[in-house]
Amino acid sequence: MRESSLPDLGVGLIGTGFMGRAHALAFHSARTVFDLPVNLRLVALADADAARAEQCARSWGFDRSHAAWQALIDDPAVDLVAITTPNHLHYPMAMAALEAGKAVYCEKPLAVNLAQAREMHSTAKKVGVVTRVGYNYQHNPILGLARQMIQAGELGRIVSFQGEFSEDFMGDPHASWSWRCEHTHAGGALADLGSHLLAMARYLVGDVDSVCADSQTVHPERPALHGSPERRQIAIDDQTYALLRFSNGARGTFSSSWLKHGYKNHLSFEVSGTGGTLSFDQERLNELRYYRADAPGRDGFQRILAGPAQPGYAAFCPAPGHQLGYNELKTLEVHALIQAICGGGNEGPDFAEALEVERLAAAIRVAAREMRWVNVADI
C-alpha cells in the first residue's frame, strides 16, 4: 500500500472465532466506508493455535500472527488491542494491554466478576487510554435516533422502560453444557444476553437506582456434551426477570431468557413518556415504532425506517429501506472507537460505563438471590 500522510493506527486482534472475524471485517469496512483520520493498519492477529493464527492473518489481511497474546500486546506496531476471546480471558488480556499503555477494545462482558471489572476500570482510568466494550447494538443508527428523540423531549418525561432480551439457543433441554453455563465464565441468560439490555436501558434512559429480581434455572442438568449420556449440574440462570427503578423516576421491567422458543435475537424494548412511546426489536434492527401523543395529523403508531438522515446509516446505504446488517453495527462500533482514539468523539461505552452495566447486573443477581429490593449503589 502506498505511503499515507496520515498517522498509523496499528490494530492487534486477539481471537479468531466468529467474533474475531467480525472484528476483522469491521476494521476493513471502516477503512473503506469512512474517511478515517488515521492510516488504520491491521498489524497482528493472535491465536493460541499458531497455524490457525497464521492462516487467518493471511486471509483477513493482517501483517503477521502470534501464538502468544502477550507477544501481540508487546508488538510495538500495535496501538490498539482488540479482545474477542472467551470471557474469562478479558481480564488478563485487557490488564496487560492497559499496562502496555495501549487502547483496548474488549468484547462484552468486561469481566467475569465485579472485582475484575473494577480493577480494569481503575487501571484504564489511571493509564488514561481509550477503552471500548462491545455493546455493539448501541451503535445502531436508528437507536442513535431513538436516544436523540428521548433527549430532545419527543417522548416528554420518561415514565417507563420495558425491555426484553430473549433467544432460544438453550431452549432444547438436550442442549449441552458449555462454558456459558458457568458463573465463572459470566454465563447465564442475565450475563450473556441481559447485559446487552441493561447497557441499552442505561444508554436510553440512564442510571437505575434499585432493582428487584427473580432468576430461575429451568433445566438444572444438561448433557455434558452433545448427545452424551453424562449429565452436568447447571447452576446458572436460564431466565431472569426484574423490576427497575430509574434515577429519573421511570419504572419498568427487565426480562432475559435464553430458552424462549421462537426468539433468535429479541433485544427489544418500549420506552414511554408523557409525550409518546418508542419501541424497538433487534430482530428488525432497521425499524423503530413511534407513537406521538399530540401528533398533528392522524393518530397511530408509526414505523420509522433507518435512513441516511442518520450519519451511521448514510455511510452504508443511500436511501431508507436498504437496511444495515449485524456486522455493520460492528463497523460503526469500530468507527466510534477510532474517533475516540483520535479525539473526535465520545460515542460508545468505555470501561467506566461497562463497569456500571456489570454493577447493575450484579445488583439484579443479589436481588434475585436474596428476594429483596437492592440499591444499585450498594453493590
Does 77 contact its own copies by CB under 8 A?
no
Among positions 320, 342, 347, 366, the unique one binding its own copies when judged by CB under 8 A: 320
- Cβ-contact 38, 8 below 8 angstroms: yes
Residue 226, CB-side half-sphere exposure with 13 Å CA sphere: 2
Among positions 239, 268, 310, 339, the unique one binding its own copies when judged by CB under 8 A: 239
Pairing of the two strands 39-46 and 64-66: parallel
x/- track of binding to its own copies for residues 50-69 (CB under 8 A): --------xxxx--------
Give, as ranges, the residues between 247 and 266 that touch its own copies (CB under 8 A).
Answer: 251-253, 255, 257, 259-266
Q: Is 150 helix (H, G, I), strand (E, B) or coil?
A: helix
Listed in sequence order, the DSSP H helices in the chain are 18-33, 50-60, 69-74, 90-99, 114-127, 141-151, 189, 195-204, 311-314, 326-341, 351-370
Does 373 contact its own copies by CB under 8 A?
yes
Among positions 79, 107, 328, 350, the unique one binding its own copies when judged by CB under 8 A: 328
Does 327 contact its own copies by CB under 8 A?
yes
Among positions 126, 226, 326, 344, the unique one binding its own copies when judged by CB under 8 A: 326
Residues 155-180: b if buried by 16+ CB within 10 A, e if exposed: beebbbbbbbbbbbebbeeebbbeeb
x/- track of binding to its own copies for residues 153-192 (CB under 8 A): ------xx-x-x--xxx-xxx-------------------
Residue with cell 438522515: 309
- Cβ-contact 180, 188 below 8 angstroms: yes
Minimum gap (Å) between residue 24 Cβ and its own copies? 5
At 88, which amino acid appears?
Answer: H
51: burial class by Cβ within 10 Å (0-12, 13-18, 19+)? exposed
Does 371 contact its own copies by CB under 8 A?
yes
- Cβ-contact 184, 178 below 8 angstroms: no
**Comparing C-alpha atoms, which of 379, 367, 358 is closest to residue 215?**
367
Minimum gap (Å) between residue 278 Cβ and its own copies? 9
Does 33 contact its own copies by CB under 8 A?
yes
Kindly indicate which of the ranges 104-112, 191-199, 282-290, 345-353 contains the residues binding its own copies, using the contact rule CB under 8 A. 282-290
Residue with cell 477510532: 338
Minimum gap (Å) between residue 68 Cβ and its own copies? 20
Is the CB of 92 or the CB of 308 nearer to its own copies? 308
Does 307 contact its own copies by CB under 8 A?
yes
End-to-end CA distance of the chain: 51
Number of residues that bind its own copies (CB under 8 A): 94
Is the CB of 3 or the CB of 230 nearer to its own copies? 3
Is the CB of 179 or the CB of 301 nearer to its own copies? 301
Does 295 contact its own copies by CB under 8 A?
yes
Q: Phi/psi class of residue 334: alpha, beta or left (left: φ > 0; alpha: ψ in -120 to 50)?
A: alpha
Minimum gap (Å) between residue 261 Cβ and its own copies? 5
Give, as ranges, the residues between 13 and 32 that touch its own copies (CB under 8 A).
Answer: 18, 21, 24-25, 28-29, 31-32
